[in-house]
Amino acid sequence: MQTKPLDALRLWWRDISYSNSQRKALLIVAVSAIVVSALFIFKPHPFRVSEPVIQTSNVPAIVQPPMIYVDVTGEVLKPGVFQLPPNSRVIDAVKAAGGQSKFADLSTINLARIVKDGEQIYVDRKFSGGSGFRNSNSRANSIININRANAKELESLPGIGPVLAARIVEYRKINGPFTSVDDLKKVPGVGGSKLAKFKEKISV
């Protein structure tokens, strides 16, 4: 007859040559080992809570370019110094000054040109009469402002004819006002010797 495992365990326990106290101690050790193993196996494992990842933006801050200051004078309704955004054009400066007056001659300036910081924009007055000169330059010996003079006024200078006068006005429209009288030498056809003939009669 085949012995069952439980009966075999009982026989083994009975045949152990230990005293009752030793058997109790052995039983306590075995039970303790089973309990400790069970606690270790079934103990819930602690889990780590992941901290939220804070993403920092790598987009650089947009720096606004500084405003520019432009002096608008001449035939405008409200002459003065005005603050304009960068890359503003002459037409924007004229509008900031209230627009042109009814006597303004806008043909002498390039309204589409981008203005520079610290620039002065002069809006000419329409000339009338036989001479074609503004009152400020009506005399033969008056100083002519090359940033304000129209082609007719420039023709009054020695050695400046209609073609060269038109070049000076066109250069001024494209490049802005002259910063010195020597800048006239940048205009094709105006050399040092020609400029010397009328240098004392002009200003900026």
Domains detected in the chain: 64-126 (3.10.20), 128-204 (1.10.150.320)
Question: What one-character-per-residue DSSP string does the chain give?
Answer: -PPPHHHHHHHHHHH----HHHHHHHHHHHHHHHHHHHHHHHSPPP-PPPPPP-PPP-PPPPPPPPPEEEEEEESBSS-EEEEE-TT-BHHHHHHHTT-B-TTEEGGGS-TTSBP-TT-EEEEEEPP-SSS---GGG-STTSPEETTT--HHHHTTSTT--HHHHHHHHHHHHHH-S-SSGGGGGGSTT--HHHHHHHGGGEE-
Quick one: pLDDT at residue 125?
80
pLDDT digits (tens, 9 = 90+) for 106-151: 887 888 889 889 888 888 887 654 434 444 444 445 788 888 888 8
Quick one: pLDDT at residue 84?
94
Quick one: pLDDT at residue 89?
93
Q: What is the pTM of this model?
A: 0.48
pLDDT digits (tens, 9 = 90+) for 50-79: 666 666 667 677 778 899 999 998 889 999
Q: Is the pLDDT of residue 46 over 70?
A: no
Quick one: pLDDT at residue 138?
43
Does residue 11 or residue 2 have the better pLDDT? 11
